[in-house]
Structure 1
Amino acid sequence: MLKRHSLVVATAALAALFLGGCGSDSGGSDAADAPPAGSGVCGEGTPDGLLKEVCDKGTITVSTDPAYPPQSSLDPKTGTYVGFDIDVATEIAKRLGVEVAWESPSWDVITAGSWNDRWQMSVGSMTPTNARQKVLDFSQPYYFTPAVVVVNADNSSVSDLSTDLDGKKIGVCSGCTYEQYLDKSLAINGFDFDFVIDDADIHGYDTDTTALQDLALGDGTRLDAVITSSTTAQGYIDAGNPVKIVGDPVFYEPLSVAIDKSSEADPTSLAAAVDKIVGEMHDDGTLSELSKKWYDGADLTVQK
């Protein structure tokens, strides 16, 4: 049974217990039909704050990063967003009783907070780090992904991750938790990390995929390794690229829904409602089913 701790409580000040893009786009998702009017959370009681604004509008705008299939990508055939995060966000909107609209700003804009009400929620596989908790409210994690080391397919020198990567050129997405893992600054309340790689020569990229592309050029040509999620790595491998995963995951990353602390309307009500919905989606098996759908039968909703 998944051991979960809520990051959001319905008080005037939310207490977090945990701490994990590109221009506007209105691509929709076919994951679920629009909910009937007056249904879900919006049909219960008298909402206030940001939840009331969302309910009154009948739509919640969600930011996501479509550069990371199978979490989120734009299907060129249909012009809609598809992926695990897309289905999760759509289900949350359905249970709120509203439709979902999409924005795809850059990742650094999403994680910085101060969204100026351009969107009300982020479902983009974000790690709720201590630093991000200062500007964002987080739900309990809706899933956990293994962070893995990837090397070129021709590499034969990396086997012991605690020694073989020390001082090596390692690619990561700039500002992501993988970079924080390498510089040993990653901190999430409730989690401990074993920083096994020392003195890494860190190379930052706009996305994990760009780092993997440099790794695929040759063993040591530009990079010796990349750290990314197992889902991103496996997707890149499955696409026929000459890279491979080595060793066990270096850590497991909790990923949560985020809401801006600085929204003009009080975000407490929406954050509490979303956290409750995520818990219900864990309990009724919805998140497990969606994980298995998008991750080749793997249930990533269970903390390891």
Structure 2
Amino acid sequence: MNKLITLFATAASLIVASVVPFGQAHAGEVLDKVLQSKTLTVAVGTDWGAISHLDKNHELVGYDVDIVKQIAKSLGVEPKFVTPSWDVITSGMWEGRWDIAMGQMVPTEARAKVLNFPAVNIWVPSVAVVHKDSKATQPSDLEGKVVGVTGGSSDADYANHSLTPAWTNAKPIQYQFKAGQVKTYGTANIAYDDLRLGDGVRLDAVLTDALSAQEVIKAGYPLKILKPALYSGPGAIAILRGDKEFSEKIAAVVNEMKDDGTLSELSKKWYGADYSKEQ
């Protein structure tokens, strides 16, 4: 009889496990791990411009880095940075390798199936960037052209006409052109390098956020931004779904930074303007 009960219990546990969504954290699991280890492991990039990059001392700095350091401080832990590729971050296949992802991820329906977005820390329009010699004057001129995007980005979704917003009060996306070919890159910087070679040499345009585009143009890249913007959306902090306590902790810290003006000041520090509020 005991063996029979054990068999039934085991079968029941397997059934329960099978209905838990892939990549979902258990309630309190991530927060408990962070507090016990005294470490908040953070996924960031080393070449994401003002978001996060390596300074001359090979230290990670940037807007998102400052924010996550404040989150770690509030939790009484130390931040530890890791640098996975963007497509792995957005996939939700974290497997416990990091606890939180920065990078100003745009919440979409597809991402919301595996990720939770406890706090928005920036609002930025997405734009089309072309070589300065391009005859294109507006995004609709890119009809049938070759465009570059970062793999797993919302700009890639836009280029493939599959962008479905999941943020509050989002307006339906209006696609201004249909690309002839969409080329995927590991980072926007590699796409910029291809575009700077000349109009149509490897790319006709790159789709990216306006702040990133402004940075590379300021750095001397022979590029220009087409108007109007493709769409405008929030950039959020991401965690795996399922840990309500962890989500609430992050939200509380960021909301406090909004209320006391810290987020606004950090935006001005790194971008020269306040992008912490909806544009």
Name the TM-score class by shorter chain.
0.7 to 0.9
One of 104, 126, 147 as aligned partner of 2:83: 104
Q: Secondary structure at the match of 1:246?
A: strand
Shift of 1:250: 1.3
TM-score calculated relative to the size of structure 1: 0.78
* Structure 2 equivalent of residue 19 of structure 1: none
Q: Superposed, which structure 2 residues align to 1:158-169 within 5 Å?
A: 158-161=136-139, 163-169=140-146
Matches within 5 A, 1:1-304: 49-75=29-55, 77-155=56-134, 157-161=135-139, 163-189=140-166, 190=168, 191-192=170-171, 193-261=173-241, 267-295=243-271, 297-304=272-279
- Give distance in 1, aligned partners of 2:97 and 2:159: 33
Deviations 1:58-116 (A, max 9, x none): 221111112211111122x3221011111111111112222111111111221121322
User: How many pairs does the alignment contain?
Assistant: 250
* Per-residue Cα deviation, 1:186-228 (whole angstroms, up to 9, x for no partner): 1122322221112442121111111111111111111111111
Q: CA RMSD in A?
A: 1.7
- Give the residue type in structure 2 aligned to 1:73: H
- In structure 2, distance between residues paired with 1:226 and 1:127: 17
TM-score, normalised on structure 2? Answer: 0.84
Please list every run of at least 4 consecutive aligned residues from structure 1 whose deviation after the TM superposition is greater than 6 angstroms.
none
Structure 1 contact 73–82 (Cα < 8 Å) conserved: yes
Does the 8 Å contact 1:58/1:97 carry over to 2? yes
**d(CA) in 2 for partners of 1:233, 1:52:** 39
**2:90 touches 2:152 (CA, 8 Å); kept in 1?**
no
C-alpha deviation, 1:122, in angstroms: 1.0
Q: If each structure's helix is expressed as a fraction of its own residues, which one has the higher value?
A: 2
- Kindly provide the amino acid, as one letter, of the partner of residue 303 in structure 1: E
Letter in 1 for 2:240: D
State the one-letter code of the partner of 2:118: S
Contact between 1:49 and 1:268, CA under 8 Å: does it hold in 2? Answer: no
Give percent identity, aligned residues only. Answer: 40
